Amino acid sequence: MNPNMDKHVQTPLIETPLANRILASPQSFAEFQAVPAGEVETYGATPLDRMTTLSQQSEAKRNFLKLTYSIPDNIPIEIASEVHDSFGRRFDARGEANDENFVTSLMYERQDELDPVIRDMVDKAKTGHASPAELLLVREAMGIRSVELACLTHPYGTNIEILDDMRTAVELAILSVGGKVFDEPEVRYAVKESIGETPTEYDTQLGLLMTRKRIIGVLPDGTHIRERSSFILRTDDKIDLPEEVKRVLAAISAEDTDWREKAGSSEALLAYLAELLENNHTTYAIPISSTAYAFNETTAKQVSQHVLDGEAERQRAWAALTDGMSGYGMLDMNNADALAYHEQSEAEIRAHRKYAERQFQQSIPIIINGTLKHLDDL
């Protein structure tokens, strides 16, 4: 039991529903604490604070990349190269995204106002040692739009047996904060790119880099818990594809700009993929990694406005900064706005501007199965 538990049962300090629910009841808190956390080498989540964990993450990346060197027999070199390269790209992208989401969170500048128990969880999340349950509370208390809960690297099926442990931990986390785990998760597949001599022609195609997204649960505040798995579907001549799948791939034209959407929406291909992944046929569908994360649409909108407001404030501060220059090019030391801008970390400024650009791109609506969606909801 946490040594601070008694005072929180009497006088909870946090004004967020999930935290109130957990900290106000010893039984709920005990169930919450019982949710296991993964380690860096298993399914530990990517750290929120990228800059202070660069050494740790560089070592983790090197160790994970070593797993991609154990190439099974009869794997074409182009596919082996893509397994290695795509993992590296995704590892770096996850680190950047987690750090960006943390820096742009609503409470980033006010962490000292959080309950001490929550601050301890935030500190663990910064280094990648928080459990999935703790990360759910950190997301709510900090006002983070999306946070990674767990991630497992399993190229060619190495360590794939740990995936059940990761999924169990995430499901326990959902239940421990009063959420619901879906018996039949909604599943979406997406084709990312083609591996081979040309983008689409089946006779020179070796495989498709794909993702599968599953919505596995929801929290009382509307936060969706999702799992994203990356894999390569082999289509080379060493694989005996079903005839209907061959016809789908053969019908793709190099002139089609939407060939990814057409391939990813084929019922024959989706049925084939479901069978391969359900039965862990790793020779045919080569697994790379699986990530569980939490996303809250309401918080995302609040963060977007927060970022826009911050950008407007920085523009005003920049005007004050330039107006506050003396004839000798010195800052006006009496201009508080100018000094505030001058002292703000360049890393934070870059993160906010990058996030604003990304939010603009993600605001573009697209159509999926006749329904208007946004990229945030994919």
Q: Is residue 108 part of a domain?
A: no
Query: Which pLDDT tens digit goes with each residue over 77-107?
Result: 999 999 999 999 999 999 999 999 999 999 9
Confidence of residue 306 (pLDDT cuts 50, 70, 90): confident
Q: Is residue 67 part of a domain?
A: yes
Residues 351 and 207 in one domain: no
Residue at which a domain ends, from 269, 295, 321: 295
Portion of the chain with pLDDT greater than 90, in percent: 49
CB within 8 A of 297, min separation 6: which ones? 222, 224, 376, 377
Residue at which a domain ends, from 295, 326, 344: 295
Q: Is residue 239 part of a domain?
A: yes
- Does residue 13 surpass a pLDDT of 50? no
Query: In this predicted structure, what is the pLDDT of residue 45?
Result: 95
Residue at which a domain ends, from 263, 295, 327: 295
Query: In this predicted structure, what is the pLDDT of residue 372?
Result: 35
More confident residue, 136 or 340: 136
How many independent structural domains does the chain possess?
A: 2
Select, from the ranges 70-74, 111-115, 223-227, 373-377, the one with the highest average predicted confidence (pLDDT): 223-227
Q: Is residue 335 part of a domain?
A: yes
Domain extent, residue 358, equals 299-377
Single pTM value for the model? 0.78
Confidence of residue 68 (pLDDT cuts 50, 70, 90): very high
User: Mean of the per-residue pLDDT values for the chain?
Assistant: 81
